[in-house]
Amino acid sequence: MRVIVRTVSELCITVGTLIVLFVAYVLFWTGVRADGAMSDQIDQLHRQWSQGSVPKAGSSGERSVSVAKPAPYHYGKAFAIMYIPRLGFTWNKPVLEGTGRDVLAKGLAHYAGTAQLGQEGNFAVAGHRRTYGDPFKDFPELRPGDAVVLTDGTTWFTYRIDQGPYKTVPTDVEVIDPVPRKSGYTRPGRYLTLTTCDPEWGHSHRLIVWAHLDSTQSVEAGEPKALRR
């Protein structure tokens, strides 16, 4: 009887230790790796952009500029950096092409098949709510009127949130349609959709926000107003 009790006790301790190690991996180590990966992606983009040419701007003020169609995006490659002042003025994340698990572990993920940045249609992006750096941990704090700013190294794109956070189920794929029916938009435009999981530590539902392209300007004109403290 003592042998049985001791064996069961040892098994419980072993299982408990494994559970603690797994939780530590999920909560801590994935975050450390993701933070490093996102920083590397942003550094690579800055190096890439510093070696390219930037269109000349006629003035230092914020204004609309002609947005050329971007080159095709490549799976797993970063092509833009996103800033959301509501989530903190130091909050910035790389945006990569594709929504595979390997991509989401390195930053925000652009839904392949949706519009490219700044183009007509719906530029749709997903991000983890928790784990892998917690990029969208504070997603519920987003409000209509908030700015979502992106840059591709030559142009700043400032989107303004119109609707959300809206709660739905994972099968509701209409949220990333070119004109999302539940967004309130009724005609084609230049839209942005952000998606993440809900609840905070689950994935039974999704939270959505929709935004429209409010303004663009050359990077040589300086940061857009939304990023100025």
Residue 212 lies in a domain: yes
Is 137 a domain residue? yes
pLDDT over 70 (residue 30)? no
Known catalytic residue: 12? no
**Within 10 Å of residue 192's Cβ, how many Cβ atoms?**
25
Q: Is residue 118 part of a domain?
A: yes
d(CA 85, CA 223): 13
Mean pLDDT of 189-195: 98
Write down the pLDDT at residue 97.
Answer: 98
Quick check: 226 and 147 in contact, CB under 8 A? Answer: yes
CA 127-132-136 angle, to 5 degrees, is 35
For range 199-214, the mean pLDDT: 96
pLDDT in tens, 125-148: 999 999 999 999 999 999 999 999
Higher pLDDT, 29 or 81: 81
Residue 182 lies in a domain: yes
Catalytic annotation, pick one of 128, 203, 205, 212: 128
What values do phi and psi take at 112, rounded to 5? Answer: -60, 135
Q: pLDDT tens digits, residue range 80-95?
A: 999 999 999 899 999 9
Average pLDDT, the chain: 87
Tell whether 198 is covered by a domain. Answer: yes
Residues 6+ apart with CB under 8 A from 126: 99, 104, 108, 109, 111, 194, 195, 196
Count: domains in the chain: 1
Catalytic annotation, pick one of 197, 203, 205, 212: 197
Q: Is 197 a catalytic residue?
A: yes
Q: Range of 222's domain?
A: 33-53+74-227
The stretch 168-178 carries a mean pLDDT of 97
Q: What gap in Å lies between CA 171 and CA 73, rounded to an integer?
A: 25
Name the band, by pLDDT with cuts 50, 70 and 90, for residue 58. Answer: very low
* Strand segments (E) across the chain: 78-83, 92-97, 108-110, 121-126, 147-151, 155-168, 190-198, 205-218
Residue 151 domain flag: yes
Q: Is residue 65 a part of any domain in this protein?
A: no
Buried b (16+ CB within 10 A) or exposed e, 163-174: bbbbebeeebee
CA angle 160, 162, 221 (to 5 degrees): 10
For 48, the token pair is 């890439």
Q: Hey, what amino acid is at 210?
A: W
Look at residue 9 and tell me if it is in a domain: no
Res 12: pLDDT: 57
For 182, the 3-state DSSP assignment is helix
Q: What is the CATH number of the domain that holds 173?
A: 2.40.260.10
Residue 94, beta-bridge partner list: 81
Report the distance separating Cα 32 and Cα 48, nearest Å. Answer: 24
Q: What is the DSSP letter of 68?
A: P
